[in-house]
Amino acid sequence: MAEQTTPQTAPRRSGGLVSTLTVELHSHYAIRLWEGRNRSDEKSKAEKRPKILGMPEAISRAGFAGRDAAAGNPYGDALLVKLEEAIKLATEKVEEQVKKIATITAAIPAGITISEVTSSEPLNLDVFSRSPLGYRCVWLLVHYDQLALKAFRAFHYGLISRSQRDDFLEKGSKAIRVVYGLIQNYRTVPVTYEDIRHKTARGLAAIERLGEPDPAVMSGKKRSSFSPLSAVTSEDN
């Protein structure tokens, strides 16, 4: 009897991994920081104010920097380093304000229960970022939204004054605007680490426009936790 063999089948593979992210914003203050402001929002030339970056554009620019870093662009890597540090510092500042409000509300007499504040019609947003730091920016804004809600609740029940409420809101929003300011002017310049090291025409043009890249970034000593692995950062590579 002839020996029978089982035909080999191709190894089975799972499909691509997918996930979605939805953000819920409750405070008008956080929503304004999400939307930003265009120069054309004001009616007359005398009233026109500078453009303020919004979160969608901040996420987009973070994605551009990540893409550039993956292509071996030291300026993209440098921005990721600065952005990660700025987000970390801003988050700490917002959380510090949240802790201060928590300390104040902890003084409520026993027997009193105050519910959390929510909007009857929150803004629901689907979020997608090509960079993990883009999502970090979103986490920061959600932290600020919670700060705003807690500040308004504390003011509503007489636990803080109006000026204290406004101070909480301003300190939190300022922390986010610092992050926006860092990323607002980022533009892609086609250049690589090798262009900079060998002073090619592209490298010289980039240096003239943007200045010399950070030596610590060029050597690979300073990198963002989210810098792409494919970027060339060492002269030994």
- DSSP characters over 115-154: PPP--SSPEEEEE--SSHHHHHHHHHHHHHHHHHHHHHHH
Residue 52: its pLDDT value, please?
A: 80
Of the pLDDT bands very low, low, confident and very high (cuts 50, 70, 90), residue 165 is very high
Are 141 and 30 within 8 A, CB to CB? yes
Residue 233 has pLDDT above 50, yes or no: no
DSSP bridge pairs for 126: 22
The residues, ordered by sequence, that sit 6+ positions from 235 with a Cβ below 8 Å of its Cβ are 197, 219
User: pTM of the full predicted structure?
Assistant: 0.84
Of the pLDDT bands very low, low, confident and very high (cuts 50, 70, 90), residue 237 is very low
The tokens for 130 are 């090509």
Neighbours of 174 (CB within 10 A): 12
Q: Give tens-digit pLDDT for 100-159.
A: 999 999 888 888 888 888 999 999 999 999 999 999 999 999 999 999 999 999 999 999
Helix, strand or coil, per DSSP, at residue 2: coil
Q: H or E element: which one contains 21? A: strand 21-25
Q: Mean pLDDT over all residues of the chain?
A: 88
Name the residue ranges covered by the structural domains of the chain: 24-37+51-112+130-188
